Structure 1
Amino acid sequence: MSFQQGLSGLSAAATNLDVIGNNVANANTVGFKGSTVQFADVYANSLAGASGGSGSGGGAQAGTGATVGAVAQQFGQGTITTTNNSMDIAINGNGFFRMSNNGAITYTRNGQFHLDQNGFMVDNSGNQLTGYKVSPGGTIITSSPGPLQIPSTPLPPQPTANVTAGVSLSASATAPATAVFNPADPTSYNNSTSTSVFDSLGNSHVAALYFQRQALPLGPLGAATVTAGSTAMALGSTAGLAAGNTLTVNGVTYTISAVTSPTSLTVSQPAAANFTGAPTSTNAPSSSWNTFLTVDGAPVPSPTAAMSVMTFNTNGTLATPTGPVPSASFTPAGAAAQTLTFNFAGSTQFGTSFGVNTLAQDGYATGQLNGINTNADGTIVGKYTNGQTKNLGQVVLASFSNPEGLQSMSNNQWAQSGTSGVPLVGSPTSASLGTLQSGAVENSNVDLTAALVDMITAQRTYQANAQSIKTQDQMMQTMINLR
């Protein structure tokens, strides 16, 4: 008789209880991966034992007990819980964070990060999170990953260079009463709108656009003939004129009552005297609009001149300009000279009231970093006080052909080993790598209920092995007492 089977069972069961206890202890450890004990049976290696001693073969061997074959970690996905820290990152799927400690590389699933005094993203042990860096313009540089550092420097200002202005002008609008544009005189333009633009120092300025409808050209109307006491007026052509328009003839401004033919019309008041001559003005509109620009109330250019002329097709769509329109150069106080390039594409002239469909510009003031967010593909995006965003880096993940072969270390870290295979490093969502979730962590994958049940089972196994030793002891005592 032998105590070996029972002793080996006690040792294996004790190891199992240790592993289960470690799982329970780390049930609340972020990124922890539970382990299971894999047992193996043990047989004595002897040639004599292979014959069984009675011709029955190796199947007659009783075995010498059990041993622990391996303690295998289970890399199943843990549940993801949101946090109030935007720097926390959870991995959903395959992969490990790649950490650096003075060049020593380790791997983890614990995404609880913060910034150290130098702006590096680190874990609670001071290990630096690694990833791809960015160019000054925010382009990801997918070369060798290195420690990710979040710059605290302010985002430099960008002077406005381009303005997109899509407006809806009214087809029923008439030419303004005052033909010479003056931004201070609302009778010299039909509509206006404004937006903020920025200079090279990041200072804000008000750029205002004014739209002035051009009157119908007088030349095609020809000579006007009026007769004293009559409301009839003859013209070379009445094309473009309509009831309600005004027409100035011989110093008298007449309001058109009706257009009666291609060459005649009636007006609201009779003529005081006979006269034949060219009209001197009209508020009848053409399909063209003058566009004027002021910056902080000052005309650009100065003296005042139209920046561009917008013309429209008969269906109300923009005919000209067909491309960008540069303004004249202007120099804000203390800043560099600049020009604004306007894009009026999408502007229309329909039978509706004036409206602004699009008004945007590409400049901004200086801004301070006030938050970061990590996208699903690992791109770290900085948010600035001026409303701008900028790529600050990209977190990388590493995968292994045999993650169970990784060497476990303290503080939720693993290290590469000979059986894990080499790390395959890439950006999240690429190849077989998982996605990232900002402001969240991956909880331990230990099922506490199942672990407690396993603990009860392991305890019963330990007790059973202890009982087998007790039985062996009783049997041996019986043999000693034989006479």
Structure 2
Amino acid sequence: MAFQQGLSGLNSSSKALDVISNNVANASTVGFKNSGTVFADAYASSLTGAVSKIQIGIGSAVQAVRQAFTQGNVTTTSNPLDMAINGNGFFEIELQNGGYALSRNGQFDINKEGYIVTSLGDRLMGYQAIDPVSGDVYAPATASVDTFRPLIVPASGVGAIETSEISLNLNLSADAEVIPTPAPPAAAIDPSDPLTYTYSTGIPIFDSLGKEHTLSFYFVRRSDVVDTTTAPPTYSEWDAYTVVDNDTSTLTHNSTIGFDGVGRVAAVTPHVTAGVTPPTNGSVFSALLGTDAVNPNVSTLGLNAITQFGGESKPRELKQDGAPPGEISGLSISRNGIIQARYSNGDTKDVGIVNLTTVRNNNGLSPIGNNYWVETPESGGFARGTPGNGMNGVISAGQVEESNVDLTQELVQMIIQQRNYQANAQSIRTQDQILQTLVNLR
């Protein structure tokens, strides 16, 4: 019986050493999960199947090898497509030979077709919509079965965006002298003569083809204390003129701006409407921007952020919503798994959402190598979702999750198992010597 116990212990120690050696060998593998041996005692059974009071155990046996799906340390990399999961969940991978697998290894690249893939060429799954006509790729508003597919990075750029809104945030000096309106037929202002206007500034705008134009503004202080009886009182008026691409033939008296006693816009009187309703305390800019673009270009002007304080006339922020065509120049991934493409024209667009998959019983998953696991009846079915939703973890972009193997602990366990192995081997050697002695006695 001691021989059987020693042999069983020898096998158990050998199995434990194999598991520990595998952990140590894969300690530096990204996404690798530590394994532990689960032992069970073994007893001899009588011929009748009954349990005897003097039944003797015959050692231990390996019942299972259980993986520990605890969080590993996170390391920063230089690849923006590398991802680490902080919390629950797995990346879902479409295998090249069919089917799906789960992985915690977040090392990804882009293949020649534009798909986000693992080092083996298997595709990362997520949520993405593709316009069947234009081929435009974008992130869906909500994750659904219909938009669950392998994630692809679009090769095409973005088209031009025609300027439709312009916002002026600047200060017009309350110390500026009044310039009276000249009597006709004299021109109201001359852009080439600084004595005819108080302050000028400009902003680039874009037509429907993405061509850049310059929209210049000329402001003239016309009067002080216009009407103190109105609500609110108007203490000063300025005329605003626009010119396109420094072409004086496009000079237009755009609007008249009235300021109250604390330097804020009291009212704007537009002089150009072009069939478009101007915003509150704003105006409309309308001009023909070239012969090969869609004309006219009509943009609303936000003028309510203009102030009239003492000091210099100076711009704070001039904004417009147009842009030239652009090509993709980079990618970034948010903690919620949203993949955002950056374009050379400064535009950004959400092009997809990374999926995270969970199962009810992680230890029921079956490892198939390459840090992949597949579904089994014991694991339960896949539950798909987006990062940060429900029990799912969140994404750390530009980072990877290291193995959760504690090398110090594994080496200590190896020493312990080696001693157990030696003890069981010594037990077998002793039994062999006793048997040899008995044979010699005969």
Q: Same fold (TM over 0.5)?
A: yes
- Which is worse superposed, 70-79 or 304-313? 304-313
AA in 2 matched with 1:195: I
CA shift at 1:311, angstroms? 0.6
- Partner in structure 2 of residue 41 of structure 1: 41
Instruction: Tell me if structure 2 keeps the 8 A contact 1:6–1:469.
Output: yes
Q: d(CA) in 1 for partners of 2:63 and 2:339?
A: 43
Name which of 93, 101, 105 aligns with 1:99. Answer: 93
CA distance in 2: counterparts of 1:464 and 1:315, whole angstroms: 93
Q: Does structure 1 residue 147 correspond to structure 2 residue 150?
A: yes
Q: Does 1:329 align with 2:287?
A: yes
Q: Which residue of 1 aligns with 2:178?
A: 175
> Residue 127 of structure 2 corresponds to which residue in structure 1?
132
Matches within 5 A, 1:67-82: 67-82=61-76
1:206 aligns with 2:214: yes
TM-score, normalised by the number of residues in structure 2: 0.88
1:305 maps to what in 2?
A: 252
Distance apart, 1:77 and its partner CA: 0.9
Q: Matched residues in 2 for 1:402 and 1:311: separation?
A: 70
Instruction: Report if aligned partners of 1:287, 1:312 keep a CA contact under 8 Å in 2.
Output: yes
Does structure 1 conserve the Cα–Cα contact (< 8 Å) formed by 2:181 and 2:222? Answer: no
Cα deviation code 1:172-231 (max 9, x no counterpart): 21222674112222111101111111111212111111111113699x9xxxxxxxxxxx
Q: Which residue in the other structure is 1:227 paired with? A: none
Instruction: Summarize deviations over 1:26-69 as a string: whole Å, max 9, x none.
Output: 111111111011111101233778664xxxx3xx3320121101
- 2:200 pairs with 1:192: yes
Q: Aligned partners of 2:338 and 2:441: how far apart in 1?
A: 81
Question: Is the 1:148–1:393 Cα contact (8 Å) retained in structure 2?
Answer: yes
Distance 1:217 1:376 in 2: 55
Match of 1:109 in 2: 104
Deviations 1:250-279 (Å, cap 9, x if unpaired)?
Answer: xxxxxxxxxxxxxxxxxxxxxxxxxxxxxx
Given that 2:244 and 2:251 are in contact with CA atoms closer than 8 Å, whether structure 1 keeps it comes out as no
For structure 2, which runs of at least 5 residues remain unmatched after alignment? Answer: 131-135, 183-187, 229-233, 269-279
1:81-480 aligned at under 5 Å gives the runs 81-102=75-96, 103-134=98-129, 136=136, 138-141=138-141, 142-144=143-145, 145-176=148-179, 179=182, 180-215=188-223, 287-299=236-248, 304-321=251-268, 322-337=280-295, 338-480=297-439
TM score, norm. by length of structure 1: 0.80
CA deviation string 1:99-128 (max 9, x = no partner): 112551111011111111100000011110
Secondary structure of the residue aligned to 1:464 is: helix
Q: Which residue identity does 1:77 align to in structure 2?
A: Q
Provide, for residues 338-367 of structure 1, a one-character-per-residue CA deviation record: whole Å limited to 9, x for no partner: 112110122211223212222111111111
Q: Give the RMSD, CA atoms, in angstroms.
A: 2.3
Cα distance, 1:379–1:303 mapped onto 2, change above 3 Å: closer
> What whole-Å deviation, never above 9, does each CA across 1:387-421 have from its counterpart, x for those lacking one?
22111101010111111110101111110111111
Question: Aligned AA for 1:356?
Answer: P
**Cα distance, 1:140 vs. partner?**
2.5
Partner of 1:249: none
Mapped to 2, the partners of 1:324 and 1:143 lie a distance apart of 42
Alpha carbons 1:178, 1:187 under 8 Å: kept: no
Distance 2:266 2:70 in 1: 63
CA distance in 2, matches of 1:416, 1:173: 76
**Hey, what's the Cα distance between the residues in 1 that align with 2:225 and 2:402?**
77
* Preserved CA contact (<8 Å) 1:177 1:188: no
Residues 344 and 139 of structure 1, relative CA distance in 2, 3 Å threshold: farther
Structure 2: how far apart are the matches of 1:117 and 1:181?
59
Give yes or no for contact 2:36–2:65 (8 Å, CA) kept in 1: yes
Corresponding residue for residue 10 of structure 2: 10
Bigger radius of gyration, 1 or 2?
1
Structure 2 Cα separation of the partners of residues 450 and 405 of structure 1? 25
2:424 counterpart SS class:
helix
Identify which range, 43-52 or 377-386, moves more after superposition: 43-52
Q: Report percent identity of matched pairs.
A: 41
Q: Which amino acid letter does the alignment assign opposite residue 69 of structure 1?
A: Q
1:90 maps to a residue whose letter is A
Residues 353, 137 of structure 1: alpha-carbon distance in 2 compared, 3 angstrom cutoff: farther
